[in-house]
């Protein structure tokens, strides 16, 4: 059995003794990831969304947020059975963290790593419309009509893409801002209008950007950046009570 007992995590978050927390669970007042919890449930406080009476419980004591400029050739998964370098091999953290969302192995650019499961959940949820901006090097030079199609939405095998902001920076170089996060979305969008992607770099995630961060470099987010990011996913009120001004 993996994880921590739910009543222990709740007691640490200030909901009373473990016995009192067992009582809350028996009264069906606690949910884990939207499902009513049962006595005996275990949780990973880094990734589970735990609510008591519908309000988020702050079960993670110490949240950390890193911004990595992921280099080409590094995988985003937490561990790789093929032994390739992962983003977690690069970012040294005092606590266990995980990447928020996924960049393809050959995609470069900004990636957030954290132990804040709520942020990760909200940022990657399909209903999240946080902007992600990419610099996209493609084969050939997209025509105005190809760019218009990318803007309006193109049909992929999992449906039409939502409207995107697309501009031509120079010959064969596009700047694309999308508000969805489907698998290999930018590559598939460009391929759908006849232009294979040869290089893809994420340059912005919502309010986060940093042109000075070299490939392979990382840093912790400032408190102001965390605030702006939480605000972008609608978690500000909570934040105000848990972080210094
Ligand atoms: N779109 C892609 O095609 N790949 C990524 O890694 C990110 C967005």
Give tens-digit pLDDT for 88-119: 999 998 778 899 999 999 999 999 999 888 88
Interatomic CA distance for residues 126 and 107, integer angstroms: 21
Question: 184 CB under 6 A from ligand 1?
Answer: yes
- Model confidence at 45, pLDDT cuts 50, 70, 90, reads confident
- Model confidence at 244, pLDDT cuts 50, 70, 90, reads very low
Question: 104 CB under 6 A from ligand 1?
Answer: yes
All domains in the chain, ordered by first residue: 4-56 (3.10.290.10), 65-126+207-240 (3.30.70.580), 131-205 (3.30.70.1560)
Atom of ligand 1 nearest to the CA of 107: 6
- Model confidence at 60, pLDDT cuts 50, 70, 90, reads low
Question: DSSP labels for 50-112?
Answer: EEETTEE----S---EEEEEEPTT-B-SS--TT---BHHHH---SS--EESS---TT-EEEEE
The Å distance, Cα 130 to ligand 1 centre, comes to 15
Question: 187 CB under 6 A from ligand 1?
Answer: yes
How much of the chain, in percent, has pLDDT values that exceed 70? 94
Catalytic residues: 104
Question: 200 CB under 6 A from ligand 1?
Answer: yes
The pTM (predicted TM-score) of the whole model is 0.76
Give tens-digit pLDDT for 184-234: 999 999 999 999 999 999 999 999 999 999 999 999 999 899 999 999 988
Residue 57's pLDDT is 81
- Which protein residue has the closest C-alpha to ligand 1 atom 4? 184
Residue 236's pLDDT is 66
Distance between start and end Cα atoms, the chain: 39
Size of the chain in residues: 245
Interatomic CA distance for residues 142 and 165, integer angstroms: 15
The Å distance, Cα 217 to ligand 1 centre, comes to 20
pLDDT at 240 over 50: no
pLDDT at 153 over 50: yes
Residue 118's pLDDT is 82
Lowest-confidence region among 21-25, 134-138, 236-240: 236-240
- Model confidence at 47, pLDDT cuts 50, 70, 90, reads confident
Question: 203 CB under 6 A from ligand 1?
Answer: no
């Amino acid at each position: 059995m993996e994880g921590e007992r739910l009543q222990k995590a709740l007691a640490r978050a200030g909901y009373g003794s473990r016995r009192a927390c067992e009582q809350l669970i028996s009264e069906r007042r606690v949910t884990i990831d939207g499902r009513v919890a049962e006595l005996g449930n275990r949780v990973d406080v880094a990734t589970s969304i735990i609510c008591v009476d519908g309000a988020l419980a702050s079960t993670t004591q110490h949240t950390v947020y890193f911004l990595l400029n992921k280099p080409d050739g590094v995988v985003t998964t937490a561990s790789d059975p093929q032994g390739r370098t992962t983003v977690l091999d690069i970012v040294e953290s005092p606590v266990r963290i995980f990447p928020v969302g996924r960049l393809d192995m050959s995609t470069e650019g900004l990636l957030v790593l954290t132990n804040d499961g709520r942020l990760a959940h909200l940022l990657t949820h399909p209903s999240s419309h946080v902007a992600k901006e990419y610099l996209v090097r493609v084969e050939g030079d997209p025509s105005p009509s190809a760019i218009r199609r990318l803007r309006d939405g193109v049909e992929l095998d999992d449906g039409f893409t939502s409207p995107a902001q697309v501009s031509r920076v120079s010959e064969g170089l596009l700047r694309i801002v999308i508000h969805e996060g489907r698998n290999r979305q930018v590559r598939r969008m460009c391929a759908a209008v006849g232009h294979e992607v040869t290089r893809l770099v994420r340059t912005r995630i919502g309010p986060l950007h940093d042109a000075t961060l070299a490939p392979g470099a990382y840093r912790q987010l400032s408190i102001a950046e965390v605030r702006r990011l939480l605000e972008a996913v609608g978690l500000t009120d909570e934040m105000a009570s848990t972080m210094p001004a």
